[in-house]
Amino acid sequence: MAGACVCVESGGALAAPPAAAGVGNPGVGPGAAIVFTSGTTGHPRGAVLSRAALRASARAHTRAMGWRAGDRWLLSLPTAHVGGLMVVIRCLQARRAVVVGGRR
């Protein structure tokens, strides 16, 4: 992918979440993602993140971000890292573009 740039845009194709989604404790529900810890205090462990928790984080970020028309987010972290994964999830939730650049 050297020198390549890929833009992922929702184009409005994402369906709105059900009205009941995100109600209740965001930590409850089936796992949607497993993100591994760094293992600083021992062996790395898989942290199970629910759909509700991911959605709640993305919604809170969208409210705080103050997106403007045409805003995009450059993905500079690997999606295997929680930071990179959340960039993608936040952009999908906000219906914004994620720009993925290759190594130079």
* pTM, to two decimals: 0.64
Separate counts of helices (H) and strands (E) for the chain? 2, 5
With respect to residue 27, please indicate whether it lies within any of the assigned structural domains: no
Residue ranges making up the domain that contains 94? 44-104
The two beta strands, 46-50 and 72-75, are unpaired
**69-102 pLDDT tens trace:** 899 999 999 988 899 999 999 999 889 999 987 6
User: Of the candidates 27, 25, 92, 12, which has an alpha carbon nearest to the alpha carbon of residue 58?
Assistant: 92
Our count of domains for the chain comes to: 1
Helix, strand, coil percent content, the chain, rounded in steps of 5: 25, 25, 50
| Whether the Cβ atoms of residue 58 and residue 33 lie closer than 8 Å to each other | no
**6-17 pLDDT tens trace:** 444 444 444 444
- State the pLDDT confidence band at 21, using cuts at 50, 70 and 90: very low
**24-65 pLDDT tens trace:** 555 566 788 888 888 888 888 888 999 899 999 999 998 998
